[in-house]
Amino acid sequence: MISTFFINRPIFANVIAIIIIILGAVCLYTLPISQYPNIVPPTIQVTTSYPGASADIIAKTVGIPIEQAVNGVKNSIYMSSTSGSDGSYILTVTFAVGTDLDTSLALVQNYVNGVMAQLPETVQAQGVTVKQVSTNILQVVSL
């Protein structure tokens, strides 16, 4: 009965479908932010550079001490590091969802500061940067 009504009036059916889509879009933009759960694990990145050193030298002289110091920080899930042939070193530490990132950032910074004396003088002069990074894939917009 209802199906025959819409079959006989396809324009009316299309108008109702368009109205529902418009109302859905309006409601989507009026939802409060608290309705979107934080499902992306928080991430902290430790970066430094050792100009003129190979990736192998960086991994041995910079990577190993920093990774040993940061390993086991509270609520960390995993770590990954990259040593580049251009002298760059990046350590990414991923934490469990719901972890207080400010506390974790302070802990990682303290652990890194504890091993600064073990790092080569060039790296100490360049400095080691500890910062939080966003891994939210939803921020990537492709047109």
pLDDT at 82 over 80: yes
Put simply, whether the predicted model's pTM sits higher than 0.85 gets the answer: no
State the chain's mean pLDDT as an integer. Answer: 86
> Could you tell me what percent of the chain has a pLDDT over 90?
43
Q: Give residue 31's pLDDT.
A: 77
Listed by start position, the domains of the chain span: 2-35, 43-135
pLDDT at position 141 over 60: no
pLDDT category of residue 72 using cuts at 50, 70 and 90: confident
The answer to whether the beta carbons of residues 66 and 93 sit under 8 Å apart is: no
**For residues 132 and 50, is the Cβ–Cβ distance under 8 A?**
no
Let me know how long the chain is: 143
Superfamily of domain 43-135: Multidrug efflux transporter AcrB pore domain (3.30.70.1430)
Q: Could you give the CA distance from residue 22 to residue 66 in angstroms, rounded to a whole number?
A: 53
Which residues 6+ apart lie within 8 Å of 128 measured at CB? 46, 47, 48, 66, 112, 116, 119
pLDDT of residue 83 exceeding 60, the answer is yes
53/138: higher pLDDT:
53
Q: What's the burial of 87, exposed, middle or buried (CB within 10 Å: 0-12/13-18/19+)?
A: buried
More confident residue, 79 or 139: 79
pLDDT in tens, 11-44: 999 999 999 999 999 988 887 766 666 677 889 9
Per-residue pLDDT at 90:
94
CA distance 107 to 75: 11
